Amino acid sequence: MCGILAVLGCIENSQAKRSRIIELSRRLQHRGPDWSGLHCHENCYLAHQRLAIVDPTSGDQPLYNEDKTVVVTVNGEIYNHKELKKKLSSHRFRTGSDCEVIAHLYDEHGEDFIDMLDGMFSFVLLDTRDKSFIAARDAIGITSLYMGWGLDGSIWFASEMKALSDDCERFISFPPGHLYSSKQGGLRRWYNPPWFSEDIPSAPYNPLVLREAFEKAVVKRLMADVPFGVLLSGGLDSSLVAAVANRYLAEHEAARQWGSQLHTFSVGLEGSPDLKAAREVADYIGTRHHEFHFTVQEGIDALEEVIYHIETYDVTTIRASTPMFLMSRKIKSLGVKMVLSGEGADEIFGGYLYFHKAPNKEEFHQETCRKIKALHLYDCLRANKSTSAWGVEARVPFLDKEFINIAMSIDPEWKMIRTDIGRIEKWVLRNAFDDDQKPYLPKHILYRQKEQFSDGVGYSWIDGLKEHANKQVTDAMLMNASFIYPENTPTTKEAYLYRTIFEKLFPKNAARSTVPGGPSVACSTAKAVEWDASWSKNLDPSGRAALGVHEAAYEEAKVAKPINGAH
């Protein structure tokens, strides 16, 4: 991941202003430690902190069209850049960067080219010919982006809140799948897939189509000129990513970047469920595996730094971000700059344990749509910022646009959890990779029960956080929380502690408003309670709150039919 900062329409155009932009851009240097760039055109500034993944030698930013009248600063990866370049054969490219196509596509198509991009991205583009500009964020919000307004009438864009929060009177999280146009004066949604309206799809389930779409999504994300690996928790999602990537690299020697084996990484407390499962998967598929341990105290000591980087006070996100943050530092120390990760599958396929309680396919599907739309506030934010804190880029194959369209077109009846006929959560995905002839994973891994990431790294991690919060936050403090924090009032001591740290780091009203609100309920959603009122008895967002839906039924469900038995 790179870091971008754009300030457009300042009143002041001086050396002091330029120095201030450079100072603020340096707050994003952790995202892009390889190079810094700044373009100034009159009262507009585009700054960039580069993490070099593709074309490390010539791809420094900002990037330009042929005559440098179009300037663009980009955070992201454009996976179909080679195909797009072929369609832009009349244009002259200065670099081998995958992101340069954005400047030329704008020259060719104006503002209506965003949906042509296949990738994850946030960018700001300035057309110096008329001083117009556009800003856009990828379909799901895999990359982070904020938008702010200064008292002098300037408009700001930054990869992280910390680069604009001090200088903007108001700022927001830039909505995913949207474009801001200075010509049209506002935001509009460019991403309009069939599933977005939440109408109930009716396409039949074809396991081979689903499998091939996912394999394609993984392979395109192996585009890199630097060492890379896979984050492997041992759960279904990350294990499938690792298995598909490893199989492809074994067959395509030219795609390897770091020795003869794919490298995988896992993190946890000593003896945690994830470490054991990840080691088993790594041994089975044959990766070079790296296992990192942390202690509860090390995690607690990192909390303030974690909240500074991920810019949220959401309890579940902080719990899961801390081990990922610690692991990313270790990964960086090995010289790795890019990792594949398994975010998104639970939202697309209804993998969270409360989906067992979905009353019908209509509500099941609508809840998956809602979860995907909110990913940029939770799992995408965690994956992006926890890794970017140490100059590591995370790529997420499950959030590939084409794969989502295929997966979300399946009649949700197939996704419903039916233990009576052997269908557990995410059965359609498990079944698609249940190949007896050439197995991707062992059966018991393929059908391993869902763990929240923060649970899987070791159950005592959450218990340790709660114990620490109980020592830091008194009963009186929590009782008066609604007076101290009237907006998004914390309801537990742990939530109160995180909110206190966040407010110290980001004290403005606008900052707290970028975090989603509402009281914590099981699995962080009121839908669980709506489907089964008994869930309201456990306010902890940990996956352990849901164990009652499983166990005996789960064991029974492991007899799920293999792929050649699907219809």
CA 369 to the chain's CA centroid: 16
| pLDDT score at 450 | 66
Dihedral class, residue 74 (left if φ above 0, else alpha if ψ from -120 to 50, else beta)? beta
| pLDDT score at 422 | 86
Q: Is 342 annotated as a binding residue?
A: yes
pLDDT category at 567 given cuts 50, 70, 90 is: very low
Separation CA 154–CA 79 (nearest Å): 32
pLDDT tens track for 69-104: 999 999 999 999 999 999 999 999 988 899 999 999
Separation CA 478–CA 476 (nearest Å): 5
Residue 238 has pLDDT above 50, yes or no: yes
| pLDDT score at 532 | 80
Residue 522 has pLDDT above 70, yes or no: no
pLDDT tens track for 162-209: 999 999 999 999 999 999 999 998 999 999 999 999 999 999 999 999
Known catalytic residues are: 2
The CATH superfamily label for domain 201-561 reads: HUPs (3.40.50.620)
Where b means 16+ CB within 10 Å and e means fewer, 399-434 reads: bbbebbebbbbbebebbbbebeebbbbbbbbbbbbb
| pLDDT score at 520 | 39
What separation in angstroms does the CA of 489 have from each of 240, 307, 512?
39, 18, 11
Peptide bond into 62 cis (omega under 30): yes
* pTM for the full predicted model: 0.93
Mean pLDDT across the chain: 90
Query: How is the chain split into domains, by residue range?
Result: 3-192, 201-561
Structural domain 3-192, CATH architecture: 4-Layer Sandwich (3.60)
Q: Which residue has the tokens 């595996």?
A: 289
| pLDDT score at 566 | 37
Assigned token pair, 98: 């995958």
pLDDT tens track for 533-547: 776 666 565 544 444
What's the mean pLDDT in 5-18?
90
| pLDDT score at 563 | 41
Q: Is 269 annotated as a binding residue?
A: no
Q: Is 76 annotated as a binding residue?
A: no
Q: Is 167 annotated as a binding residue?
A: no
Residue 556 has pLDDT above 50, yes or no: no
Of 48, 10, 261, 289, whose CA–CA distance to 151 is shortest? 10
3-state helix, strand, coil in the chain (%, to 5): 45, 15, 40
Three-state helix/strand/coil letters over 147-203: EEECCCCCEEEECCHHHCCCCCCEEEECCCCEEEECCCCEEEECCCCHHHHCCCCCE
pLDDT category at 553 given cuts 50, 70, 90 is: very low
What separation in angstroms does the CA of 355 have from each of 76, 199, 239, 449?
32, 19, 22, 13
Give the CA radius of gyration of the chain: 23
Contact 364, 418 (CB under 8 A): no
Using CB atoms within 10 Å of the CB of residue 472, give its burial: 0 to 12 exposed, 13 to 18 middle, 19+ buried.
Answer: middle
| pLDDT score at 521 | 36
Q: Is 543 annotated as a binding residue?
A: no
